[in-house]
Amino acid sequence: MLLTIAILLATSVLLVPLSRRLGFGSVLGYLAGGALIGPSGLRLITDVGEIAGVSELGVIMLLFLIGLEVRPQRLWVMRRAVFVLGPAQVAVTTAVLAAAAHLFGLPWPAAAVVGAGIALSSTAIVLPLLAERDLLGTPSGRDTFAVLLFQDLAFIPLVAAVPLFAGGEAAPSHVPWLELARAVGAIAIILVGGRFLIRPAFRAIGGARTPEVFTALALFVVAGSAALASAAGLSTSLGAFIGGVLLSDSEYRHEVQADVEPFKGLLLGFFFLSVGMSANLGLAVQNPGFFAMVVPGLMLAKVAVAFGLGRLGGQTSRAAVRFALALPQGSEFSFVLFSAAVTAGALTQAAFDRATLAIALSMAATPLLFAASERFVVPRLQKVAKPAYDAIQDDGAPVIICGFGRVGQIVGRVLRMRGIAFTALEQDTEQVEVIRRFGSKVYYGNPSRPDLLRAAGAEHARLLVVALDDMEQTLRVVEVARRTFPHLRVLARARNRRHAHLLMDRGVDRLVRETFHSSLRLSEMALEDLGVASDEARRAVAFFRDYDEKNLIESHAFYEDERQLIQGAKQAGEELSGLFEADQRERQAGPVRDRKKAGS
C-alpha cells in the first residue's frame, strides 16, 4: 500500500503542475496521470480497487464542503437560478441524453440512468476553471455555480432512486419498514448530534486552542456522519452533506472549511487518478468510431441545452456561451451513480465501462474546449454582439459618474439620498444588466468618448466622478475631460500611489486611493482592540493620514525615479516615527506646563 501511495503522490506532483502550467487545469492532470500509471498504461498499479476506499473519501469531503456552502440565506438570494435554471438543465439534458442512449440500444431504465448521470457536471472541474479566469463573479459564473449547486443537491435523490430502475428482484415488492426506520433514525442522529453535540464540542476544542484536535474533530464530523449514513444503508455522501449543512451557519464554518479543504483536494485528486486508471482505454482503441461520435455528441447536446436555457433566462450571447461551455462534461458523481446502478442491476458492466470512459474523455476535453472558446469564440462574440451605446437623455444632472461598480454605486446612493441628480455611465454590459435589474438607472457607454460625455451633459455639469476600475481608462477619461470640458471639476478614484501620481500629472488634485481610508479605519480598530484608547487611536491614525497625504504630494516630483522613490520611502518612515514621538512628548508636556502655571 505504501508503494501505491508513493506512486500516486509522485504522479500528482509531476503531472498536475504540468497540466496547470499548460492552462488545462489540475483535473486533466489527474485523469491523464491515472491513465498513464493504470492497467491501460504503464501498469504501475493494476488493482484499482486498492485505492477505492481512499478515493471515496475525496467525494465524501467534497459533499461535506458543498453542505457548508448551502446556507439558507445564500439559497434564497440564488433561488431563481438554483431552483429554476438548475432543474430545467438537469431535466431537459436527462431527457435528451436518455433518448439518445435508447437509440444506441440501451433499454429505457438503463438509458434513464445514463442520461441522468451524464446530465450532471463536474464541480471539481468547473469551479477552478472559472476561478482561474475571474469569471465566478460574472452573471454567467453565478448561474453556473447555481446549476452545479442544484446538481449536487439532486445527486442524493438520484442515487436513492437507482434501485427503482432495476426492476425484478432489485425493486422491493413491499415497503421495507425496517430499512426505512433505520434510515430515518440515522438521519435523526446526525441532525440531533449536529444540533446539540457538534457545536458545543467545537466550542470546547476551540477554547482549548488545540488546532490539531480541532482538525481531528472536523474530520471526525465528516467521517462519522458518512459512516452513520452507510450503516443505515444510505449513501455516505448524503451523511457527509447533512453534516456540512448542519455547520453551514456555525461560527466555526470557515475554520472547519480551511481544515478539511487540503484533505479534500488531495483525496479528490486520488479519486480522479482512480477514474483515469479505471478508464478502459482499450475500448477506445477497439471502437474508435463509437467514442469519436459519442463523446462530441453528448458534449454538444449538453452545450446546446445549456445555451438555449441560458438565452431563455436572459443571458447575453457571450454569457450563455460561457455558461454552456462550462458544463459539457460528466461529473465525478456520475461514476458513483453508475456504480450504484451496476450494483442494483440497473446497468450492465459493459454499459458502465463505455459510459465511464465517455465521461472521463469529456472531462479531459472540457479544459481544452473552454480555453479555445475563451481565445477564439468569446472575443468575436463580444465584437459582433456588442450592443449599441444607449441614447443618453440629458436631464441637466449636475454630476456624471463614470463607472458604476463597487465605488460608483456607493457615490450614487449617497447623492440620491441627498436628492442630487446624477448620470451614470458603465461600459460593462453584464454589470449594466445587473444594476438595471435592481432598479437603478445607468447608461451603457464608453465614458472616454467625448460625444458620450457631451450627451451625458458634461457641458453644463458641475462635477465628473471617475470611479472606473481600470487605471488606463481612468487616465483617458480624465484627459478627455480636461481637454474637452475644462470647466468640469474632476474627482477620481486611484488604485494606488502610482496611479495617484499619474492623475496628478493630468491636473487632478482631488482624488481618493480606493483602499486608503478603509485601511485607516481598520488600523484604528486594530489599535483599539490592542488596548489603545479610542481618542488616542483616532489621533494616531489622523496623524499618519495627514503625513501620508503630504508625502504623496511631495513624492510626486520624483515618482518616476525608482531609486529616489525607495530612498524617500525609507526616509519618510523614519521621519514619521520621529515626528509622532515628538508629538507625543509635546502632548504629555502640555498638561505639566498647565499645572505649573496654575500653581504659580
Cα-to-chain-centroid distance, residue 419? 37
Task: Say if strands 422-426 and 511-513 run parallel, antiparallel, or are unpaired.
Answer: unpaired
**Across residues 579-595, what is the average pLDDT?**
65
pLDDT number for residue 390: 66
Structural domain boundaries in the chain: 2-169+177-382, 396-514, 515-600
CA quadruple 116, 119, 122, 123: dihedral positive or negative? negative
Residues in contact with 199: Cβ distance below 8 Å, sequence separation at least 6, in sequence order:
247, 250, 252
Task: Tell me if 15 sits within 8 A of 36, measured CB to CB.
Answer: yes
Confidence class for position 477, pLDDT limits 50, 70, 90: very high
Confidence class for position 479, pLDDT limits 50, 70, 90: very high
| pLDDT, tens only, 251-264 | 777 778 877 877 77
Q: For residues 384 and 281, what is the distance between their CA atoms, to the nearest angstrom? A: 41
| pLDDT, tens only, 121-171 | 988 778 777 877 878 778 888 899 889 878 877 887 888 788 777 664 445
User: Residue 422 pairs with which residues in a beta bridge?
Assistant: 399
Burial class (CB within 10 angstroms; exposed 0-12, middle 13-18, buried 19+) of 110: buried
Report CA dihedral (257, 261, 267, 271) to the nearest 10 degrees. 90
Can you tell me which residue has the cell 490592542? 530
| pLDDT, tens only, 84-102 | 999 999 999 999 999 999 9
Nearest CA among 317, 156, 148, 178 for reference residue 238: 156
Residue type, 30: Y
For 396-514, which CATH superfamily applies? NAD(P)-binding Rossmann-like Domain (3.40.50.720)
| pLDDT, tens only, 53-81 | 777 787 788 778 877 877 666 667 677 88
Residue type, 101: A
| pLDDT, tens only, 296-341 | 999 999 999 999 999 998 888 889 999 999 999 998 788 878 888 8
Among 1.20.1530.20, 3.40.190.10, 1.20.120.530, 2.60.120.260, name the CATH number for the domain at 2-169+177-382.
1.20.1530.20
Over 60: is that where the pLDDT of 43 sits?
yes
Over 90: is that where the pLDDT of 218 sits?
no
Over 70: is that where the pLDDT of 595 sits?
no
- Phi and psi at residue 93, to the nearest 5°: -65, -40
| pLDDT, tens only, 366-403 | 988 998 898 888 888 865 445 566 677 767 889 999 99
Task: Say if strands 489-494 and 422-426 run parallel, antiparallel, or are unpaired.
Answer: unpaired
Q: For residues 22 and 29, what is the distance between their CA atoms, to the nearest angstrom? A: 10
Report CA dihedral (38, 39, 41, 44) to the nearest 10 degrees. 60
Q: Is 531 left (phi over 0), alpha (psi -120 to 50) or beta?
A: left
Other residues' Cβ atoms within 10 Å of the Cβ of residue 206: 16
pLDDT number for residue 384: 45
